[in-house]
């Protein structure tokens, strides 16, 4: 079906108990593109991400209807662990595992799924991931220190490296720059742009500023009260929004 | 378990943990059942009188005559004395730690308090026999008896000093750290904006503290309940200071008994006397029921301390 | 008016401090009493206090070998029995909080916390001592394990559920199974709380007397370490000797109390100091 698409979402509805948070979301995203998901807080953006990799399974009372496909894989019929192997995620708060070293934080995914056959290979994967997250130069001399010594922005880039080390097909980012300083935020954006272009990773990123969406995304989705009110190529939507809510959001009025 | 689409790995994980949960559930059920089952012959033989009469006339050749009233009375009264005395102690200690102690000392006092809450009870027992009982006899009971002995509670002459009052006082000291911990935790959990609100309507520090205490009233009630439960079930320390005598008297200076002390003293040799073990198991049922009811109420109370906003 | 309030403030503060001090006096005085009474006893007996069996009444020798060994053996055995059950039950409560079993265990462990421990003694007497024909170290260990269960379960459960949700999500997002997240992410992050819970349970079990009264026997004058045979324990020895009319046995009781308090404090300080936890 959606074989040519990286991500297909069709009629996605989510309830928390009796409260409906997503009211039928549908869109298709081609491979190696970056989608920025926008909308006022509480509109259901984070819920959308967690529906894609089935983290909603662990939210009590959450109910999902509809269809999600990742490279043709029907997420809700597949074993969720296989899905999450393909879908990486970076969260709003930096969350490297505090009990593991910087190195182990990046190595944990490859080790888990047996991606490296030797110590050398693992070292290479870790180095690649840390370079992709633009963190390598800052940590290469203290790979075996705990991540808690890093700054918040560095911790967030470490979280990105941890997700990238698995070479995910899709990367989900939940307002990754909301809690870090502008310099680190810029570096994070640059890394994301690069993994999309150079490594062909498809990115779905929830963002809290229209500027960020304009800077890095190919597509934008605008969600309002659980509905997808706008979806399209970023430039087209920014220049000529079809919906007045989107226009207001871009002007900073929402 | 959610019915839909739970992966096999998670089901396996769940089912590998299930046996351990069942052990805990089975232990409690078995405990309740075995004690009740063992108590049944006594309940059949004496009926409700077993809990309402005060007799202890064991016989070796035939079932003796038994009634647990003295022990039940002693249990209820000594635990009551304990929480009445422990309440001001633990509230004051909680305020002192949270409000008055210098910051660096706070952790140390809190640690000391936690240590005291888990202190081996037998150490309190030995201390009670050697220090507390003589002290209470000479400096509390005798003066009260000779000055206001006309009051029924103080109307009997203290002999050894082992008595309901001694048991209640010792229990008070034993449950104070435990109650303090509960109250202190609730006190510390009051959110800052409510503290500010309390401060803004108070014109003195003590008014502010009293307001905060009002906010955590459920926790204080819970501490009273759980403290009462703990005191009513305490065994060895009490049996050393309560006097072990079948008395139902208003006088707090008279030696008395508690259910757990009675079990501790008699259960070991009870098999020589027909029906005595069963009578003691009935005492166990009494302890189980009040323990369960009081704890359940206490746990529910604690969960009522929730902050909104 | 303001002066009256200031005066009331001082009065209130004074009362609170005085009563708070009073609340701490017993446990301090009792520790002091153990040192003052037990110290000389241990000092005069020297090492023999730990290597000889208790004296006959009236004889001026001292020793608590059997009950010391017994207490250590009981602590180890009951931890061995109790901790795995508590740990796994706590994992279930935290990882499957909405399952019916999880809810039941959570409520039960909280409600059982203050169940009179003498009941556990009667229970184990009925289902283990009577069928086996005699009291034993094993029976007493099971009784102490039952005392520990709700404590350790509740402590570990609290420690595990204090781990922020975001670490679980991060683990799951990497494709870890729930079990792997629980054992390689959540437990290591909460290790300090878990170990504290185990040690607090151990300290509690070590100081208990009532569950031992009918389950342990009193093998006091000859050493037995076979779990199926009878044993002795320090709290039991103190309980018996506190009621004994002989001066020398009371002295042994004080010496034993000092040893018990020391062991107890040691476990607590261990729980407090040596485990360097992960700061989240």
Q: Is B220 part of any domain?
A: yes
Closest CA to C74 of C82, C85, C62: C82
Q: Is B182 part of any domain?
A: yes
Determine whether the interchain pair A76/B5 forms a contact, defined as Cβ–Cβ distance below 8 Å: yes
pLDDT over threshold 70, residue C274: no
- For A64, name the nearest residue in chain B, comparing CA atoms only: B4
pLDDT digits (tens, 9 = 90+) for C209-231: 999 999 999 888 888 889 899 99
Q: Is B12 part of any domain?
A: no
- C-chain residues within 8 Å CB-CB of B204? 5-6, 8-9
Count how many pairs of residues, chain A against chain C, have C-beta atoms within 8 Å. 65
Rounded distance between C-alpha atoms, residue A172 and residue C172, angstroms: 13
Determine whether the interchain pair C175/A81 forms a contact, defined as Cβ–Cβ distance below 8 Å: yes
Closest CA to A165 of A193, A125, A217, A113: A125
Determine whether the interchain pair C95/B235 forms a contact, defined as Cβ–Cβ distance below 8 Å: no
The separation between CA A204 and the C-alpha centre of its own chain, rounded to angstroms, equals: 5
CB-based contact, B5 to chain A, within 8 Å: yes
Q: Is B3 part of any domain?
A: no
In this prediction, residue A249 carries a pLDDT of 81
Q: Where are the domains of chain C?
A: 65-273
Count how many pairs of residues, chain A against chain B, have C-beta atoms within 8 Å. 10
In this prediction, residue A251 carries a pLDDT of 80
Rounded distance between C-alpha atoms, residue B277 and residue B42, angstroms: 9
Distance from CA of C28 to the nearest CA of B (A): 9
CB-based contact, A41 to chain B, within 8 Å: no
- DSSP designation for A18: T
CB-based contact, B2 to chain A, within 8 Å: yes
In this prediction, residue C269 carries a pLDDT of 85
Output the six-digit token pair for C30.
Answer: 């009792």
Q: Is A172 part of any domain?
A: yes
Closest CA to B164 of B147, B140, B146: B140
In this prediction, residue C178 carries a pLDDT of 93
Domain extent at residue B229: 65-302
- DSSP designation for A58: G
Output the average pLDDT for chain B.
Answer: 90
- A-chain residues within 8 Å CB-CB of C166? 91, 93, 95
Strands A19-29 and B54-57, by their bridges, are: unpaired
Strands A73-74 and A87-90, by their bridges, are: unpaired
Output the six-digit token pair for B114.
Answer: 């936690």
Residue with tokens 């009675």: B262
Output the six-digit token pair for B293.
Answer: 């009811």
Rounded distance between C-alpha atoms, residue C126 and residue B284, angstroms: 13
Rounded distance between C-alpha atoms, residue C48 and residue A25, angstroms: 80
- Check: CB of residue A229 under 8 Å from CB of residue A223: yes
- Check: CB of residue B184 under 8 Å from CB of residue B222: no
Rounded distance between C-alpha atoms, residue B10 and residue B1, angstroms: 10
Close Cβ partners of C15 (under 8 Å, ≥ 6 residues apart): B92
Strands A62-70 and B65-68, by their bridges, are: unpaired
Q: What is the CATH number of the domain that holds A233?
A: 3.40.50.300
- B-chain residues within 8 Å CB-CB of C153? 24
- Beta carbons within 10 angstroms of residue B181's beta carbon: 21
Rounded distance between C-alpha atoms, residue B14 and residue A30, angstroms: 38
- For C90, name the nearest residue in chain B, comparing CA atoms only: B21
- Give how far Cα C254 sits from Cα of A89, A124, B60, C33, Å: 62, 65, 37, 8
CB-based contact, C76 to chain B, within 8 Å: no
Close Cβ partners of C108 (under 8 Å, ≥ 6 residues apart): B24, B25, B28, C150
Closest CA to A23 of A64, A74, A72: A64
CB-based contact, B43 to chain C, within 8 Å: no
Mean pLDDT value across residues C275-280: 48
Per-residue pLDDT tens digits of chain A, which is 254 residues long: 445 899 999 999 999 999 999 999 999 999 999 999 998 888 889 999 999 999 998 888 899 999 999 998 999 998 999 899 999 999 999 999 999 999 999 999 999 999 989 999 999 999 999 999 999 999 999 999 999 999 999 999 999 999 999 999 999 999 999 888 999 899 999 999 999 999 999 999 999 888 899 899 999 999 998 999 999 999 888 888 888 888 888 887 76
pLDDT band at C6 (very low <50, low <70, confident <90, very high): confident
Output the six-digit token pair for A231.
Answer: 């979806």
* Side-chain half-sphere exposure of C134, counting CA atoms within 13 A: 10
CATH class of the domain at C65-273: mainly alpha
Q: Is B78 part of any domain?
A: yes
Close Cβ partners of C143 (under 8 Å, ≥ 6 residues apart): C78, C120, C121, C123, C124, C211, C212, C215
- A-chain residues within 8 Å CB-CB of B2? 57
Q: What is the CATH number of the domain that holds B230?
A: 1.10.3720.10
CB-based contact, C24 to chain B, within 8 Å: yes
pLDDT over threshold 80, residue C33: yes
Per-residue pLDDT tens digits of chain B, which is 309 residues long: 334 567 888 999 999 999 999 999 999 899 999 999 999 999 999 999 999 999 898 898 888 899 999 999 999 999 999 999 999 999 999 999 988 888 888 888 888 888 888 899 999 999 999 999 999 999 988 888 888 888 888 888 888 889 999 999 999 999 999 999 999 989 988 888 888 888 888 878 888 889 999 889 999 999 999 999 999 999 999 999 999 999 888 888 999 999 999 999 999 888 899 999 999 999 999 999 999 999 889 988 888 776 653
CB-based contact, B1 to chain A, within 8 Å: no
Distance from CA of C17 to the nearest CA of B (A): 6
Q: Is A201 part of any domain?
A: yes
- B-chain residues within 8 Å CB-CB of A80? 5, 7
- B-chain residues within 8 Å CB-CB of A79? 7-8
User: Taking a contact as any Cβ pair under 8 Å apart, which residues of chain B between 7 and 36 contact chain A?
Assistant: 7-9
In this prediction, residue C273 carries a pLDDT of 74
φ, ψ at A67 (rounded to 5°)? -135, 135
Residue with tokens 């929830």: A206
Question: What region, left, alpha or beta, does residue A17 occupy, with left being phi > 0 and alpha being psi -120 to 50 degrees?
Answer: left
Determine whether the interchain pair B5/A81 forms a contact, defined as Cβ–Cβ distance below 8 Å: no
Close Cβ partners of B45 (under 8 Å, ≥ 6 residues apart): B63, B275, B278
- A-chain residues within 8 Å CB-CB of B7? 79-81
In this prediction, residue B36 carries a pLDDT of 96
φ, ψ at A27 (rounded to 5°)? -165, 165
- A-chain residues within 8 Å CB-CB of C163? none
Question: What region, left, alpha or beta, does residue B233 occupy, with left being phi > 0 and alpha being psi -120 to 50 degrees?
Answer: alpha
In this prediction, residue C128 carries a pLDDT of 95
ipTM rounded to 2 decimals: 0.92
Distance from CA of A76 to the nearest CA of B (A): 8
Tally of domains in chain B: 1
Q: Is A1 part of any domain?
A: no
Which chains have 3 or more CB–CB distances shorter than 8 Å to chain A?
Answer: B, C
- DSSP designation for B108: H
Q: Is B216 part of any domain?
A: yes
Close Cβ partners of A249 (under 8 Å, ≥ 6 residues apart): A38, A39, A40, A210, A222
pLDDT digits (tens, 9 = 90+) for B74-96: 999 999 999 999 999 999 999 99
Domain extent at residue A129: 7-250
Helix, strand, coil shares of chain B, percent, nearest 5, are 75, 5, 20
Tally of domains in chain A: 1
Close Cβ partners of B293 (under 8 Å, ≥ 6 residues apart): none
Nearest to A81 among B2, B5, B9 (CB): B9
Output the six-digit token pair for B110.
Answer: 């809190």
- For A108, name the nearest residue in chain C, comparing CA atoms only: C174
In this prediction, residue C115 carries a pLDDT of 87
- For A80, name the nearest residue in chain B, comparing CA atoms only: B7
Rounded distance between C-alpha atoms, residue A68 and residue A14, angstroms: 12
- A-chain residues within 8 Å CB-CB of C162? none
Mean pLDDT value across residues C128-132: 94
Nearest to A81 among B2, B5, B7 (CB): B7
Three-class DSSP category at A90: strand
Dump the DSSP string for chain C. -HHHHHHHHHHHHHHHHHHHHHHHHHHHHHHHHHHHHHHHHHHHHTTHHHHSPPPPTT------HHHHHHHHHHHHHHHHHHHHHHHHHHHHHHHSTTSHHHHHHHHHHHHHTTS-HHHHHHHHIIIIIHHHSS--HHHHHHHHHHHHHHHHHHHHHHHHHTS-HHHHHHHHHTT--HHHIIIIIIHHHTHHHHHHHHHHHHHHHHH--GGGTTTS----SS----TTS----HHHHHHHHHT-S-HHHHHHHHHHHHHHHHHHHHHHHHHHHT------
Query: What angle do helix axes C247-273 and C234-242 make, rounded to 10 degrees?
Result: 150
- Check: CB of residue C203 under 8 Å from CB of residue C268: yes
Burial class (CB in 10 A: 0-12, 13-18, 19+), C109: buried
Rounded distance between C-alpha atoms, residue C80 and residue C77, angstroms: 5
Distance from CA of C99 to the nearest CA of A (A): 10
């Amino acid at each position: 079906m959606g074989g040519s698409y990286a991500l297909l979402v069709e009629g996605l509805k989510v309830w928390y108990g009796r409260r409906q948070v997503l009211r039928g979301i549908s869109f298709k995203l081609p491979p190696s593109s970056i989608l920025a998901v926008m909308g006022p807080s509480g509109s259901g953006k984070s819920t959308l991400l967690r529906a894609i990799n089935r983290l909603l399974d662990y939210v009590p009372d959450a109910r999902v209807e509809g269809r999600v496909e990742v490279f043709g894989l029907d997420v809700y019929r597949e074993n969720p662990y296989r899905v999450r192997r393909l879908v990486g995620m970076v969260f709003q708060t930096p969350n490297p595992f505090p009990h593991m070293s910087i190195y182990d934080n990046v190595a944990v995914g490859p080790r888990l799924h047996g991606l490296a056959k030797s110590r050398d290979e693992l070292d290479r994967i870790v180095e690649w991931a840390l370079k992709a997250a633009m963190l390598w130069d800052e940590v290469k001399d203290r790979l075996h220190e705990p991540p808690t010594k890093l700054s918040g922005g560095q911790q967030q880039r470490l979280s990105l490296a941890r997700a990238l080390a698995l070479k995910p097909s899709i990367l989900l980012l939940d307002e990754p720059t909301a809690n870090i300083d502008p310099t680190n935020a810029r570096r994070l954006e640059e890394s994301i742009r690069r993994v999309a272009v150079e490594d062909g990773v498809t990115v779905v990123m929830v963002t809290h500023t229209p500027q960020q969406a304009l800077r890095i995304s190919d597509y934008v989705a605008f969600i309002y009260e659980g509905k997808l009110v706008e979806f399209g190529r970023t430039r087209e939507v920014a220049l000529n929004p079809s919906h007045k809510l989107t226009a207001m959001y871009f002007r900073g009025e929402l | 378990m959610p019915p839909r689409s739970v992966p096999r790995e998670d089901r396996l994980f769940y089912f590998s943990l299930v046996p351990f949960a069942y052990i805990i559930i089975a232990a409690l059920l078995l405990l309740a059942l075995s004690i009740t089952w063992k108590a049944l012959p006594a309940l059949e033989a004496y009926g409700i009188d077993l809990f309402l009469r005060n007799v202890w006339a064991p016989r070796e050749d035939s079932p003796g005559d038994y009634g647990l009233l003295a022990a039940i009375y002693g249990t209820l009264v000594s635990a009551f004395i304990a929480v009445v005395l422990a309440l001001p102690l633990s509230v004051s200690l909680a305020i002192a730690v949270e409000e008055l102690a210098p910051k660096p000392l706070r952790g140390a006092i809190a640690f000391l308090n936690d240590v005291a809450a888990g202190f081996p009870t037998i150490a309190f027992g030995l201390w009670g026999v050697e220090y507390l009982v003589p002290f209470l006899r000479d400096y509390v009971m005798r003066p009260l008896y000779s000055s206001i002995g006309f009051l029924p509670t103080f109307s009997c002459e203290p002999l050894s000093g082992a008595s309901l009052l001694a048991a209640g006082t010792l229990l008070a000291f034993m449950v104070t750290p435990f109650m303090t911990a509960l109250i202190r935790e609730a006190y510390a959990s009051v959110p800052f904006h409510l503290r500010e609100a309390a401060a803004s309507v108070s014109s003195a520090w003590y008014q502010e503290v009293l307001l905060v205490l009002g906010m955590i009233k459920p926790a204080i009630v819970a501490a009273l309940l759980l403290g009462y439960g703990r005191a009513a079930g305490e065994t060895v320390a009490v049996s050393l200071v309560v006097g072990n005598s079948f008395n139902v008297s208003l006088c707090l200076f008279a030696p008395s008994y508690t259910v757990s002390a009675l079990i501790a003293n008699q259960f070991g040799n009870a098999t020589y006397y027909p029906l005595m073990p069963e009578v003691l198991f009935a005492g166990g049922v009494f302890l189980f029921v009040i323990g369960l009811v009081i704890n359940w109420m206490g746990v529910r109370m604690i969960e009522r301390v929730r902050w909104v906003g | 008016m303001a002066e009256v309030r200031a005066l009331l403030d001082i009065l209130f503060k004074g009362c609170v401090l005085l009563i708070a001090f009073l609340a701490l006096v017993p446990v301090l005085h009792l520790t002091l009493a153990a040192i003052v009474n037990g110290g000389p006893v241990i000092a005069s007996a020297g090492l023999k206090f730990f290597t000889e069996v208790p004296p006959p009444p009236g004889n001026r020798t001292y020793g608590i070998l059997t009950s010391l060994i017994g207490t250590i053996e009981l602590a180890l055995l009951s931890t061995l029995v109790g901790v795995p059950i508590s740990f796994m039950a706590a994992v279930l409560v935290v990882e499957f909080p909405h399952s019916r079993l999880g809810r039941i265990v959570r409520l039960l462990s909280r409600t059982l916390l203050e169940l009179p421990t003498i009941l556990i003694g009667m229970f184990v007497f009925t289902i283990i001592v009577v069928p086996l024909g005699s009291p034993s170290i094993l029976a007493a260990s099971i009784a102490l394990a039952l005392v520990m269960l709700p404590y350790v379960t509740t402590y570990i459960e609290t420690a595990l559920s204090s781990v922020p949700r975001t670490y679980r999500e991060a683990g799951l997002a990497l494709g870890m199974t729930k079990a792997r997240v629980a054992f390689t992410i959540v437990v290591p992050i909460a290790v300090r709380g878990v170990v504290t819970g185990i040690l607090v349970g151990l300290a509690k079990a070590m100081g208990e007397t009532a569950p031992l009264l009918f389950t342990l026997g009193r093998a006091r004058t000859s050493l037995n370490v076979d779990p199926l045979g009878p044993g002795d324990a320090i709290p039991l020895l103190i309980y018996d000797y506190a009621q004994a009319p002989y001066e020398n046995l009371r002295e042994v009781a004080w010496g034993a109390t000092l040893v018990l308090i020391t062991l107890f404090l040691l476990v607590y300080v261990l729980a407090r100091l040596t485990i360097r936890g992960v700061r989240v």
